[in-house]
Structure 1
Amino acid sequence: MGETLFLAHRVPFPPDRGDKIRSHHLLRALVKRGPVHVGTFGETKTDLAQKSALAALARTHALIERKKPLALAGAEAVLKRKPVSLTAFDDAAMHRYVAKTLGNHRIETIFVFSGQMAQYVPDSFTGRVIVDLCDVDSAKFEAYADAGRRVWLNRREGRLLAREEERIAARADRVLLISGHEVELFTSRLVDPGAATCLALGNGIDAQIFDPQTVARQQDLDEGEDPQLVFTGQMDYAPNVAAAQWLIDNVMPDLRRVYSRARLHVVGRAPVPALTRRHGENGVRVWGEVPDVRPFLKSADLVVAPLLIARGVQNKVLEAMAMARPVVLTPGAATGIEARDGCHFAIAPAEGAAMLARITGLLGDPPRAEAMGQAARKFVIDEMSWESVERALSEILACAGAPHDAP
């Protein structure tokens, strides 16, 4: 495939959250095909300590600290009439790295991971451009506004991101999205859908790492007398926060009328104050960041994922399924996972009584819950391995054709 410039908004190491897991595996797949140069950002000390990991894979790399305050990014965005999420990742050092790499190396393909990084593809570049948007960010911000969150700001962000997505669709040789549903949504929002070539490239799961046979149990959950429910995720991410709060308000009070000592364990880094304040309420325990989420999944009687706003494939769901746990989730959280309701997981609408019914139905029938967990693990092994994603990516790259002339 020649040499590739891989641009990612977050450093793909360590692969410990949804977007970094996907970019990590895509980067490894590209390295197998030829030399790769990597331009990416880091925000935390852990991120910025990944230079050696990048150096082990990349021919050259730039790991740039992203430290522009959100308030400054917002002010710049207003002045420039750009989306805040693009302005936050607009960095002169990254522009210099891209220009230097294109000038010094025979770059045939620029692979962009996440829409924030498409701004770094020069108009003059005549090679192949592949953009992995994962999901439709403009629709996500519109959903935030519809839910009453920062309505003016989110409406503005959705509108301007839709304009950027239109530009990306026309500029890229291929636009990748995480599911067929996201492809349909993306193309339906384009003024000129014929200008875009959009394809679905799903997520995978490493079922050897997420294997209940190789993981110890979490003793704190084993000590519970009644059912132990687990919800995992990055707990400063708005959809996860909303889902956890919804569970606390709409499910746990009624569940504890059936099982008086039922517990909900909220597991994930950086919980916002709105969640930490709920610790101890209606059997809720907010853990924050833990060294390893797998023992919590293994020891859960049930894993719940009642996402009210969901885009793309949820890694938290795949991880729980790989750990052979029964999962109760909303339709949005099941998007892009071609599993069967009632066999591989249990889908319920975001309505308290309906969700409670699916939860208590499984809790009251342990053999059925166990069978669902085993079927879930078999499904992800057979259908959603990273090896299958890598094969699909190879086919996409092979069919992308020769580089085109830049517009």
Structure 2
Amino acid sequence: MKRIKRWLKNIFLLGSLLISILLILIGVSIYIWQNTDEGRLPAKTAVILHAINNNLVALDINIRVPKIVSGGRGVGGNPLLREDLYIPVQGDSQIPLRIYRPQGEGPFPIVMYYHGGAFLRGYGDINTHDNIVRSLAARTNSVVIAVGYRVAPDYVFPAAVEDSYAAIKWAVQNAETFNGDENTISVAGDSAGGNIATVMALMARDREGPELTSQVLMYPLTTFLDVSLASREIYDSGYYLLSRTVMYRARDLYTPEEWMWSSPYASPLQAENLEGLPPALIITAEFDPLRDEGEAYAERLAEFGVSVRATRYKGVMHGFVSLYEIMQSGQYGLQEVSGFLRQAHQGTLQTPDPYQLQVRQPPQGFDRVREQTEAFAIAAYLLGRSGINFFTQ
């Protein structure tokens, strides 16, 4: 009996030792991933970036959903309705639209959503951004229309923006068919789509309609010119999910002629006149090469008397709102976007006056504990997967 007790004790001690070593290994790994040349990352951000940049997980957040979306529900818990269709645009072409809308008579506010993806084929489409579109429809009780504008290299500027404007005109003309309110239309987009969203505000003003209610720009590209911007220099490696190489490739293929770079419909930061544009929410990320130009654009809008709310989220990278299902800061960003749109649609929007950039800190309190715990669990999985791959190769 004593021998058995001694044997069990030794097994317990050995197990405890192995667990302790494993915990230390995980902790050290996270610490190493957190420390970058550009600054110290929050644990969750560091783990996710390590996983993506080392091809341990695919950067694919697409969630397939049926026609009636049980996972996304509007006010009152009603499932959203989804419709996929094509509409005609210039040049005898057609582009895809995806519409999510609440059930009921409405009319519901309309949000035109423009996806990111560097204006290039293979970098983004209405499928890769489906989770944001679906969630915005549910959170704002609005009709959200994702626009599949044509992209480079097959179609160069201004095809994408002309397609996007044609989609707005289509939405106005056909609002009754999907219970939309043609008098309450906002535009929203991320990255390249953020560029297109604010260009839509310019086009709607310049072409005398339709009048837009608001614009939401998430980490937008606002200029194709070689402007001196610190964030472009510091975070251009690609580790933070957007590289200088991709930015130059986008410029070369989307705007192949230099005169295009200065057009306000390509580089809204260079627009001579920004008066008369709808209220704007601009979200930027600390570790993002596009951070400074997004914030510079917010300042210029404010200088022209446009009501602007701008928030920089610390500790996160380009595209973080798309990762709202696994990043708390992404959840915060999506909540801010949804709240802004609801207020704009209800006519209760209040923006700071005078303009001031708001800074949102990384998750604190319980959210921080949860983020760190999840980061630890994900890191354990990644290390285990790396070990399995090492021994099976």
* TM-score relative to the length of structure 2: 0.37
Look at both structures and tell me which one has the larger radius of gyration over its CA atoms. Answer: 2
Higher strand share: 2
Name the TM-score, length of structure 1 as normaliser: 0.36
